[in-house]
Amino acid sequence: MKSPLTVIILTFNEAKKIKDCLGSVIDFASEIFVVDSGSTDQTLEIISEYSEVKVFHHAFENYSQQRNWALENLPIKTGWILNLDADQRLSNEFKVEVGNYFQKGIPENINGFLASRKTIFMGKWIKYGGHYPTFHAMMFRKGKGNCEQKLYDQHYVVSGDTLQLKGDVIDLITESLSTFTLRHDKWSTLESIQQFNLKNPTAETVSGNLNGNPMQRRRYFKNLYERMPLFVRPFLYFIIRYFFLLGFLDGKRGLIFHFLQCFWFRFLIDAKIYELRKQQKNNPY
């Protein structure tokens, strides 16, 4: 029996990934919507093989706006919404656990569920270095969640209480090292602009709270990180993640991942913030 929820998937040239993503939800969700932002590969052709999937088209501005556009404009009929990217798949454990919640009845005060991503990098599960578990508000009641307005590292904000799931969402984060570095170069630009502008948090943003849920605790430490000096913090972050949080136990592929994700990416962000500051100093107006 399908669960009474709607799955929303964002796509752009995801021909290599979308089939497995849809395969993980087609027997699980009552509704499936894809919001495509102009794919030019075989993505839409592959999706057309699934008669249950409804495709909507919307020009891409940024991830926050695209996700919120989907929440506000899709003809969602179910009371619950699950958000996925094309490189994510639902684990069987996740589907069984959520299905059990629907069968038993979800308490009225619960408006969302947190689930951890299980990152797969170069075919290996990245289990150490503080990278697992990392919880996100993957699923929430219709009208009780939205995506925070950030250029990078956006989370869904849920109004009300949440429960933490044991089942994971599998996240295949790279097709190749070239794809990984190109994406992170783009994301480093967005993150550097975001930190450079120092936008104040609002009610639409996940609040940092050391005593809160896993998302809030993670945001608390990220806020601490952002207050540290440029170029110092990537070194400290990598040392903590790789040595103190046992990232070295992930082996050679783990070394590649933790170095690129914890040091190279963060250092690139700092270098771009430094560049923005120099440009502002040279062009104060």
Q: What is the total residue count of the chain?
A: 285
The reply to whether 60 and 151 lie within a common domain is yes
Domain that holds residue 11: 3-172
The reply to whether 135 and 186 lie within a common domain is no
Per residue of the chain (285 residues), give pLDDT as tens: 899 999 999 999 999 999 999 999 999 999 999 999 999 999 999 999 999 999 999 999 999 999 999 999 999 999 999 999 999 999 999 999 999 999 999 999 999 999 999 999 999 999 999 999 999 999 999 999 999 988 888 999 999 999 999 999 999 988 799 999 999 999 999 999 999 987 545 546 788 899 999 999 999 999 999 999 999 999 999 999 999 999 999 999 999 999 999 999 999 999 999 999 999 988 766
The reply to whether 104 and 12 lie within a common domain is yes
Determine the number of helices (DSSP H) and then strands (DSSP E) in the chain. Answer: 9, 12
- How many structural domains are present in the chain? 2
Determine the Cα–Cα distance for residues 10 and 63; give it in Å rounded to an integer. 9
Q: Are 269 and 225 in contact (CB under 8 A)?
A: no
The reply to whether 9 and 121 lie within a common domain is yes
The reply to whether 8 and 142 lie within a common domain is yes
